[in-house]
Structure 1
Amino acid sequence: MPSAKTHSALSRQWELLQQLPKRAPGITVSELLARLVAAGYSISRRSIERDLRDLSTVFPLQCNDSGTPFGWYWKPGVSVELQGITLTEAVSLSLVEDAIRPLLPGSMLSVLEPRFEHARQRLKGLKDGNPAARWPDKVASVRPDFNLRAPEIRAETLEALQHALISEQQLRCQYYSAHNDKLSELTLNPLAIVQRGLVTYLIATAAPYTDVRQFAVHRFRAVTGLDTPCQGLESFELKTYLATDALQFGKPQKIRFKAWLSEHQARLIRETPLSTDMVLEALSDGFQVSATLNNTWQLHWWILSLGDSLVVKEPAELRQQMRDTLRRAAAAYGHEEDKVSSV
């Protein structure tokens, strides 16, 4: 087994080879030094020059010495495919692996599996000698909301939905509606798959209707692909659809939102504004916030989560909704206290 020092040198030289262009004028030693240092390698200019000389005895490398600074590149007409991955690629694959798994069909994911494994092995082999290889251990992305567990999705269900989406064909399914507590037989036109937090949604229309809806993937009970082409693809664009805040649920209707905020909450919201046109005005007992927002369930949940740190002023309908909800909640807590005190 090679020593850690030898392994590090081989890894560095492999990285060096992958940085070389395929034509003149090539890349200079200074540029190579900057790239390798950025990739986490501790190396000097002299070491790179020595590596290039040594590698040129084994690989078809050429140095453009007609001018200064010299440039290194692969010899013209030579086809060389390096099957390894760079350290940067290994770190990137490690960081995105979990995020892209629900979004790729099985056929594409199977092609990437060897690269994911290669990335893991490459980082494992470099961790002792290269701080950059330890980068995935130093960064993380966490969800800001309550830490619920992800729903279980049957692999065959996800694969069937992905196949229908990529082949642009309709599907027949049994779908459970949690809102109505009902199982329905549907023919769907799959338009997109979206990952929203812990939940994966199929964006589709239910024939013969044309309104676009969201279907939680974990609620599909049976899925069968059909040979009939998907309808509505020409008029659907995912980016435009997402820009309407459709995945915030509710009716994405624009409102002019005004509310009283506590001083503490105003400091926080100043750092993460509600919208590009948000305005904060100081009051004697706090602040008033004004912003143009979509009137969605997500907005309602956010308002309720702030408790007495926020009081809706406008629009009047939203203010009444929040008042009624909080009154029912307060009444429920009051009844609970009566039950506890009577025990």
Structure 2
Amino acid sequence: MPQNKIHFTLARQWELLKQLPARGEGRSSAELTDTLVSAGFKVSKRQIERDLWELEERFPIDCNMDVRPYLWRWAEDASFDLPGLSLAEALSLRLIEETLTPVLPQSIMSVMQARFSRAREYLDNSPQLRLSRWVDKVQTIHPNLPMQVPDVDPTVLETVQAALIGDKQLVVEYFSLKSDEYREMTLNPLGFVQRGSISYLVATVDGYGDVRLFAIHRMRKATALSLSAQRPEGFNLETYIREGALEFGNGQTIQIELKVEGPLSRVLAETPLSADQELKPNGGDYYLTATVIDSWQLDWWLLSQIDHIEVVAPVALRQSIAERLQKGVSKHR
């Protein structure tokens, strides 16, 4: 076989393997053919079918022959890491697993389980035992109160991600905390954000222009439509986040003035609240000014540090904190 034809076959089959889903029902040979043609390969459906049967003999891929057309996918717990892992890669994967497991839903983590398993197996059998044990000497600790990760329906998650990537509208049954019931709505997906242990879809409700956050674990059912998602003019996910959307505020900034006790002032000197923070001695304590986003997250932080700070300004924020403290005191008498 000519050398260039061998290279073409390898490139085509490599791309074909990459296009096989690891979860879900699988993809038909016709769908895979369309994908490879879109990627620039001149290939027929018949050739793709021959490739699939040939690859099935060498790789852990499954063909569901109970349906028509046949559907192809990677087998459960199969990994597409064709090259061998290096020690550095295995160590990195182990640390990633330790870091993400407490904060990501199992349905998201399951996509990586095969790779994590390979990393663990590699390290358990590594001849470079001393270096491989390094992972036992490093831990990642999350500073917030540890809470259980909410369950996410893997089928819902996959549908949401597919609609987002394909810029398609999405119909979901979404649980509203306000009305305490599920409501069906059509969404225009704009982005996917992980905030701590909660996964959010950034989207607009069809017919409305305001961008909102929808917790994935509150979706009971999701169906992708063939209609293109409507994107607000000028929307940028990075800007949306930078303006404080994930802090649950309105994006407006305020200048806060605080009296801060010594121990907390040292923490804030090391990790400022903002780039323009100023911290000046004030008797035995410190006086702090900073421009921050006015949000629930700011309120939560102030209340969590209330033993060590006094809110001086804005006056409305000081009054709000005082009222919430009074309500708390009345509940604990």
* Structure 1 equivalent of residue 73 of structure 2: none
The two structures, once aligned, show a CA RMSD in angstroms of 2.6
1:175-190 → structure 2 map (5 Å cutoff): 175-190=174-189
Residue 239 of structure 1 is matched in structure 2 by: 238
The 8 Å contact of residues 103 and 194 in structure 1, kept in 2 or not, is answered as no
Could you tell me how far 1:93 is from its partner in structure 2?
2.1
Alpha-carbon offset, residue 179 of structure 1: 3.5
Q: Secondary structure at the match of 2:307?
A: helix
Tell me how far apart the structure 1 counterparts of residues 233 and 113 of structure 2 sit (CA, whole Å): 33
Distance 1:196 1:319, change over 3 A: same
What aligned pairs does 1:35-54 form with structure 2 within 5 A after superposition?
none
Kept in 2, the 8 Å contact 1:105–1:163? The answer is no
Please name the residue that 2:193 is paired with. Answer: 194
Q: TM-score scaled by structure 2?
A: 0.69
* Residue 116 of structure 1: aligned partner: 116
Farther-moved stretch of structure 1 (181-190 vs 313-322): 181-190
Residues 268 and 102 (structure 1), Cα distance of their counterparts in 2 relative to 1, 3 Å cut: closer
CA contact 1:174–1:220 (8 Å) conserved in 2: yes
What secondary structure does 1:146 align onto?
A: coil
Instruction: Sort the Cα spacing of 1:246 and 1:216 in 2 relative to 1 into closer, same or farther, 3 A.
Output: same
- Greater displacement, 116-125 / 282-291: 116-125
After TM superposition, the score normalised by the length of structure 1 is: 0.67
1:1-343 residue pairs with structure 2 within 5 A? 83-97=83-97, 99=100, 114-126=114-126, 129-232=128-231, 235-334=234-333
**Counterpart Cα distance in 2 of 1:177 and 1:222:** 14
Q: Contact 1:193 / 1:203 at 8 angstroms: preserved in 2?
A: yes
1:226-282, Cα deviation, whole Å (9 max, x unpaired): 111111076332222221121011222110110111122212211211111111111
Structure 1's unaligned 5+ residue stretches are: 1-81, 335-343
Secondary structure of the residue aligned to 2:186 is: strand
Q: For residue 260 of structure 2, what is the amino acid of its counterpart?
A: L
| Post-superposition offset of 1:115 | 3.7
What is the DSSP-based 3-state SS (H/G/I as helix, E as strand, rest coil) of the residue aligned with 1:94? helix
User: Partners of 1:144 and 1:138 in 2: how far apart?
Assistant: 19
| Whole-angstrom CA distance in 2 between matches of 1:197 and 1:88 | 26
State the 1:103 CA deviation: 9.4
Q: Deviations over 1:164-220 (max 9, x none)?
A: 112221111111122442422210011111111111111111111121111111111
Aligned length: 251
2:269 is aligned with what amino acid? R
Percent of aligned pairs with the same residue?
Answer: 38
